[in-house]
Amino acid sequence: QQLQVEAYFRQISGQELQKVLSNWSNLYYNMEKTMDAMNEEGSDFTYQDLLQQTLQLGSDRTADILTDFQQYIYKHENDLGDKETVTGTAYIACIVSSLKYDFSGYKVNPRDVIKLQIKDYDEHADMYESPMKKIEKEHPWG
């Protein structure tokens, strides 16, 4: 009976984790549209819900990256220039990558997540390298 209960909760949390991963991916690839939908009056799923579910369902590593991302946003909310935007993008890519690992066990390089969205990544790779190295140093794969 205990095994059945554990399997049930694993299945439920797996479905919820998949939803969280999907929402972060949507946020990354369609940030403006996704944030508008989350902030819309009467929205049944808000950014705060996304943070809460990520914290509840994600691994320790995912939660740590999420926490650092939110702190970065709080510290730089009034001065969002190119550097801050690139760093925010790097954090979200790392969250997506870490959630992918939590959900599937497959590691995806966060740089590849960025390359899917940034057309001229090769021209600007050096801009992304600094924040990526910092995040990876603070949150290495286990």
Q: Quote the pLDDT of residue 44.
A: 83
- How far apart CA 67 and CA 70 sit, in angstroms, is 5
Sort 17 into a burial class: Cβ within 10 Å, 0-12 / 13-18 / 19+: buried
The pTM of this model reads: 0.85
- How far apart CA 90 and CA 131 sit, in angstroms, is 7
Per-residue tens of pLDDT for the chain, all 142 residues: 766 655 655 666 777 888 889 999 998 888 888 888 888 888 888 999 999 999 988 889 999 999 999 999 999 988 878 889 899 999 999 999 999 998 888 999 999 999 998 999 999 999 999 999 999 999 998 7
Q: Quote the pLDDT of residue 99.
A: 92
Q: Find tokens 């740089």 and name the residue.
A: 111
